Chain A
Amino acid sequence: SQKIEQNSEALNIQEGKTATLTCNYTNYSPAYLQWYRQDPGRGPVFLLLIRENEKEKRKERLKVTFDTTLKQSLFHITASQPADSATYLCALDGNYGQNFVFGPGTRLSVLP
């Protein structure tokens, strides 16, 4: 069956450290993978998109990798800050190319 999993439901790290979140998928062949941030009571906000032919993408303190062999994406936040505390969702294109499939999310808490 098709699945998208994110490594843990919750992750606590110390301010200034690098947070690494994992997204694994099974029985999908996505053309791209995306990461979103969601704050409590709000809609998700797009952060980064990486295509299947890209190994790595960066945006300021964010870095995403995409390994289609391992069927895995890693999302890194360097020099993390308490303001980075939120739930992070990965998403990929669904089977019909017109919809999106989201992972369950990882709740990141950056402790001061």
Chain B
Amino acid sequence: SQTIHQWPATLVQPVGSPLSLECTVEGTSNPNLYWYRQAAGRGLQLLFYSVGIGQISSEVPQNLSASRPQDRQFILSSKKLLLSDSGFYLCAWSVGVETQYFGPGTRLLVL
């Protein structure tokens, strides 16, 4: 069966520090991968999606970047965090463009 992992679960970082969040998927090949951010009490905002290794599409201009170095690995990064980067970050995968399966999320607090 397929599983999706995200780490860390919680992260507290100072403004201006770098960020690296990792997401890995098991049990499927060539998935579509997604990074979302959810601010407190708000909906899901799609940040990046990837249909293959090295292929990244960005939905909104921002302080973040994404990379897909391996088929089932998706990394979200920042060189210098801003206060506004705080939120709940969710990784998801899909096969094709139907159902998405979400990871447990990373709660990021930038102070």
Q: Which residues of A contact B (CB under 8 A)?
A: 32, 34, 41-46, 49, 89, 91, 93-94, 97-105
Contacts and interface: CB of A to CB of B under 8 A. Distances in A.
Contacts of A46: 99-101
Chain B contact patch, size range? 20 to 34
B96 to A, nearest CB: 9
A25 to B, nearest CB: 13
B43 A104 contact: yes
Majority secondary structure, B binding face? strand
Interface in B91-111: 92, 97-105, 107
B99 A102 contact: no
Contact of A100 (B100, B104, B105, B107): B100
A100 B99 CA distance: 10
A41 B107 contact: yes
B105 A98 contact: no
A19 to B, nearest CB: 19
A98 to B, nearest CB: 6
9 contacts: A34-B99, A41-B107, A43-B102, A43-B103, A91-B100, A98-B51, A100-B97, A100-B100, A102-B36
B77 interface: no
B104 A42 contact: yes
B107 to A, nearest CB: 7
Nearest to B90: A43
Given A44-B90, A99-B97, 9 more contacts: A34-B99, A43-B92, A43-B104, A44-B100, A45-B102, A49-B98, A98-B51, A100-B34, A102-B46
A89 B34 contact: no
Given A41-B107, A45-B102, A104-B42, A97 B97 contact: yes
A42 B38 CA distance: 11
B21 to A, nearest CB: 14
B32 interface: yes
A6 B34 CA distance: 23
